[in-house]
Structure 1
Amino acid sequence: MPDLVEVLNEPLGRVRRLLDEHQLIGSRRDGAFKVPSIFIVDGHPLSSLRGTIIVLQDAGFGDDEVIDWLLEVDDTIGISPIDALLQGRKSEVRRVAQTLA
């Protein structure tokens, strides 16, 4: 969390709120809580990430599964969902995510 506070330049309370509001997602891997750095663009959470996280969680995905799905190449999209989100292809990513329910 201290690294996340530094990267976002936000107080710890605000960082926790970003996680609670699904603006960011992370998980404990190797004992430490981690948020993939690709989820942060120019010191802010990727704006299209929140809705995608919510769609996946509504489909029953846990935090680890959401992160894994976002980072792995999806055959339907042709690239990883996070890369598609970074390219502005939010609707396509969410449409694919909705089919996973």
Structure 2
Amino acid sequence: MSEPLPPTDWLTLPEVAERLELTISKVNQMVRDHTLLAVRRDGVKRVPAELVANHTVLKHLPGVLTLLRDAGYNDEEALRWLYEADDTLPGVPAVALGTHRATEVKRRAQALGF
């Protein structure tokens, strides 16, 4: 397995709240509900910027996070899976979620549970 590519940019939870035009409480709830992925970096919870596009969370992200959680992945492992380089997509699953390849990303996440 190759080393995952890091997210190109990170957003703090207040930045996500501003981008999504939500309260910080709602963003925290999304993280607790696993509809948004946040991990600690330098002691601060951060979200990969690619997962938040056009004032919304990527459409297929909550479903993929559920599939990864069902397969036993914690948040750090889910982040690693989302940013694992995959030449067959091409790129990384996190970026592919925002394209016509989202169905393929979901199919691969679902296969992890078997």
Q: TM-score, normalised by structure 2?
A: 0.78
Are residues 2 and 83 of structure 1, via their aligned partners in 2, closer, same or farther at CA, if it must alter by over 3 Å?
closer
How many angstroms does 1:72 deviate by?
2.1
- Distance in 1 between the 2:18 and 2:99 partners? 26
Please identify runs of 4+ aligned residues in structure 1 that moved more than 4 A: none
Match of 2:74 in 1: 62
The question of whether the paired residues in 1 share the 8 Å contact of 2:35 and 2:61 is answered with yes
Q: TM-score, normalised by structure 1?
A: 0.86
Q: How does 1:23-38 map to 2 (within 5 A)?
A: 23-38=35-50
Compared CA separation, residues 38 and 64, structure 1 to 2 (3 A) = same
Ranges in structure 1 where 5+ consecutive residues have no aligned partner: none
What letter corresponds to residue 54 of structure 2 in structure 1?
Answer: D
Matched length: 101
**Whose relative contact order is higher, 1 or 2, with alpha carbons under 8 Å and at least 6 apart?**
2
Q: Which runs of 5 or more structure 2 residues have no equivalent in the other structure?
A: 1-12
Deviates more, 1:77-86 or 1:30-39: 77-86
Of Structure 1 and Structure 2, the greater helix share is in 1
RMSD value, Cα? 1.6
